[in-house]
Structure 1
């Protein structure tokens, strides 16, 4: 079943063209369930992977002494997922989620959440605008998605995002990892820091 992320609003300010990575499958669509989708990540995608992985690496379990530290451009999606796994080791569910929250906060300039709340109050327009920007911004992380119509407090609006086949869940192969390292901390981050309720339901 396709995943649905019902977004009240998620503000991300990157243009559609600059964050799109390609699927290497002949059809241009995710591989059928049970098969791993092949992606072709470009420069922008590698930048995001490197940034997030290096931030998360600070929270990861200690590496073996003979393990060489990766350079910024050496991170790919697989190594990004491996860093996530090391962050999980030796931590409780709550501690894992808090680590991800700290990583997300560290990616923002000081005072960003407060400024965001002023610029984007939780209106229907803001919800639809931010949902539209979510599709290209999160493409590198969760794979292709599309904006859909959802009902929020009895009002229909195009503020939902359907993820066709979650790349993070597909590569990690672990529902618990997906929930604690992506779903819950991301939902809490946008809800508590930005004041914009978010519900994500990823699937393979």
Structure 2
């Protein structure tokens, strides 16, 4: 999830612009990154301007930039998908991918792979989208400070609405300190369209947490709520071990997952 915003950074000028960005962020974050009141609608086609209620799939109207991002990720992942290969992604143009096609590629990546292997694929995809030396540059620009956590939270809202839907910056507590480094995803588009707990955990939550924490040096914890499909991202908060994470013990969502096993106490995709 992080890569698209990170690629937008010009390393030659970033050092001189960070201070200005910081001032602008603190001045405008409260009004520019929320939903409503001038906030980001995130391409939602619902008349209400907010995600559809549980049990209904939210309607989106994706533009050229959203479809370009979907294609970028899908083409990278296609190389690892069952039935895919080096030339599969070239069969579609930049505007031929939609969100359903992107999710379908994710499903094919999961086929025949263990939980850890799925997570490793996502890590390789994220690494492949970064310029050489990017993690080291990120660590210099964004050391694990309160400001870095709050700045990245603010970037997440406008840059990743195409992937997860509308979100807003919220105040959270990290190590006893209250800070605006949380991002509340109203109803995750990825989980809503896949209906799969395993895809949420293995293809998004765990690899994104690990990528920020281990590659970029900025801790991140993602806490999905499988009852309403919301999710809270907490920048600056060190994630717990997988075995201690409540998400690792989550059963299937039988109403939404077509291959769910209602009799199982654990989603099969979460097993080793």
TM-score of the two chains, using structure 1 as the length reference: 0.88
SS in structure 1 opposite 2:162? helix
Q: Is the 8 A contact 1:20 1:140 kept in 2?
A: no
Count of matched residue positions in the alignment of Structure 1 and Structure 2: 192
CA pair 126-11 structure 1, distance change in 2 beyond 3 A: farther
Find the counterpart in structure 1 of residue 57 from structure 2.
36
TM-score under structure 2 normalisation? 0.66
Q: Note the C-alpha offset of 1:171.
A: 0.1
Equivalent residue in structure 2 for 1:77, among 99, 102, 105? 99
Counterparts of 1:71-150 in structure 2, within 5 Å, are: 71-150=93-172
Structure 1 alignment gaps of length 5 or more: 1-8
Tell me what 2:46 maps to. 25
CA displacement at 1:11 relative to structure 2: 9.4
SS at match of 1:200: strand
Q: Give the SS at the match of 1:81.
A: helix
Shift of 1:136: 0.8
CA contact (8 A) 2:4 2:159 kept: no
Query: Which residue of structure 2 aligns with residue 190 of structure 1?
Result: 212
Q: How far apart, CA to CA, are the structure 2 residues paired with 1:163 and 1:190? A: 18
8 Å CA contact 1:120–1:126 kept in 2: the answer is yes
Larger Rg: 2
Name the SS of the counterpart of 1:146 in structure 2: strand
Aligned to 2:249: none
Aligned partner of residue 5 in structure 2, secondary structure: coil
Whole-Å Cα distance in 2 between the matches of residues 23 and 121 of structure 1?
Answer: 34
In structure 2, what is the Cα distance between the partners aligned to 1:95 and 1:20? 35
Q: Which has the higher contact order (CA 8 A, sep 6+)?
A: 1
Corresponding residue to 2:69 among 48, 55, 67: 48
Residue 199 of structure 1 is matched in structure 2 by 221
If each structure's strand is expressed as a fraction of its own residues, which one has the higher value? Answer: 1
Distance in 2, Cα, partners of 1:94 & 1:10: 21
> Please, which runs of 5 or more residues in structure 2 have no aligned partner?
10-31, 34-39, 230-272
| 2:177 maps to which of 155, 162, 165 | 155
Q: Is the 8 A contact 1:10 1:130 kept in 2?
A: no
